[in-house]
Amino acid sequence: MFKIAKTIKYTTFQNVLLWLFITSGIIKPFFSYLNAPFDWTFLIFAIVALDIVYCSVTRVQQIRLNKEKLFMIAILFILYLLIVISLIYSPSKSFSFEKSFLFSINVLFFIYPLFIKEWNLNLQYNLFLFILLPLTVWFIVAKTLYFSPLNSSYRLVSIRFYDIRKFYLGFGMGLCILAILQVYLKKSYLVGFFSIVVLLGLGARGALIFLMITLLVWKWKSLLVKIMDFRIKPKILRNLAIASTVLPIILITQYEKIYSFLYLGIIRFTSLFQIGEDKSVLGRVERITFTIDYIFNSLSTFLFGNGIGSFGIIYSGQDKREYPHNIFLEVFFELGIFFLLLFLIFLFLPFFYKRRILFKLFVFYFLLNALKSGDLVGLWLLFIFIGLLVFNPKIKDEVTS
């Protein structure tokens, strides 16, 4: 009995730690706003590293490495080796070393699932639902109040919020994980609906668009069948009648609060339709155009790139973190065609493994995000789900979809 209790307790600890690991970068702004006297992400990284050491020493989790897993680890090792070699010819004299070190965080995210005994889906779902979702709502409310005229008079939100206002994308990605889990576990549709409303409030355009694409790619067959066999049932009519009665009352009585909650986020969505005026889109187009032109400037750049961390100093003249907002163009620009081909193998080969669709969905979703907003050292979530896909831990509370 003692051994069983001990096993359950440890697997629960690992699942909570895995959730903290996944959300470490998402939740960090909250601790920054509270002016916490510690680095939240570093703390979680340290605990994860200790857990890896503990698993390795005690062998509490039996690690089995087949050819598929060893091959993926080998590719990642070669990629890291190429990054280190590129330090020799990179024009960046400071950020190049920082970036090559930060890539090791991606490695940590990829490796940790190897030591996970089982992934408890219901626990993960509840943690996202009852912790991350309320924090996201807090973020939107704080953002609304911060830019409200009342804030200058009554100081409703601390000035520290200004430093974290741009972290909406992380919260958006976290909500999309919740939405995918909600569909996979067949939980209440209200959770999915509210998640989309909150995504609108965040203004997380890419996160929401890529969520819709992921769900359509996954469920298009069943969706088509439902459309073809659609019949209005009494239960649906009853729900529609209730909704058509309750929703107008809520909208009329709470219009100003709902409008304030969604206003800043919806502006970002509507700006997509203002052709030639969205600064975010124009900035991305400019960077992508520059990157493509520069890649084909010389044979050496095409083959080996300009060196890790070189984009910032070449594009803006400043030795700092800059990237073209497309992960494939970034690695092509900095590390060349050979690195890009290996990187593509690392990203796409696991899709051909016999694995659960859930892992593949998450990799697909975060890969879409990396094509719009990611950079090489910020692919934590993509790498952890590739790790889950490759190392394939046991899933508890799995639902057949």
In this structure, is residue 207 part of a structural domain?
yes
Q: Which residues contact 304 (CB under 8 A, 6 or more apart)?
A: 86, 89, 335, 336, 338
Which residue from 198, 76, 205, 93 is spatially nearest to 135, judged by alpha carbons? Answer: 198
Which residue from 11, 6, 4 is spatially nearest to 123, judged by alpha carbons? Answer: 11
For 336-374, the pLDDT digits (tens) are 999 999 999 999 999 999 999 999 999 999 999 999 887
For 55-110, the pLDDT digits (tens) are 999 887 778 899 999 999 999 999 999 999 999 999 999 999 999 999 999 999 99
Average pLDDT over residues 208-232: 82
In this structure, is residue 401 part of a structural domain?
no
Strands 118-120 and 394-396: parallel
Which residue from 67, 86, 65, 60 is spatially nearest to 3, judged by alpha carbons? Answer: 60
In this structure, is residue 322 part of a structural domain?
yes
**Are 78 and 342 in contact, with CB atoms under 8 Å apart?**
yes
In this structure, is residue 103 part of a structural domain?
yes
Q: Spell out the long-range contacts of 191-194 with Cβ–Cβ below 8 A and sequence spacing 24 or more.
A: 191/129, 194/133
Based on the structure, what is the number of domains in the chain?
A: 1
Q: Please state, as a whole number, how many other Cβ atoms lie within 10 Å of the Cβ of residue 393.
A: 19
Confidence of residue 36 (pLDDT cuts 50, 70, 90): very high
The C-alpha atoms of residue 383 and residue 327 are separated, in whole angstroms, by 13
**5 pLDDT more than 50:** no
DSSP state of 114: G
**217 pLDDT more than 50:** yes
Higher pLDDT, 266 or 45: 45
Quote the pLDDT of residue 285.
85
Domain of 301 in residue numbering reads as 2-396
DSSP state of 378: S
Quote the pLDDT of residue 388.
96
**Are 214 and 179 in contact, with CB atoms under 8 Å apart?**
no
Phi then psi dihedrals of residue 182, to 5 deg: -60, -45
In this structure, is residue 131 part of a structural domain?
yes
What value, to the nearest 5°, has the Cα angle with vertex 309 and ends 303 and 311? 75
Task: With H, G, I as helix, E, B as strand and everything else as coil, classify residue 212.
Answer: helix
The C-alpha atoms of residue 233 and residue 346 are separated, in whole angstroms, by 47
The whole model's pTM is what?
0.87
In this structure, is residue 235 part of a structural domain?
yes
**329 pLDDT more than 90:** yes
Confidence of residue 216 (pLDDT cuts 50, 70, 90): very high
In this structure, is residue 255 part of a structural domain?
yes
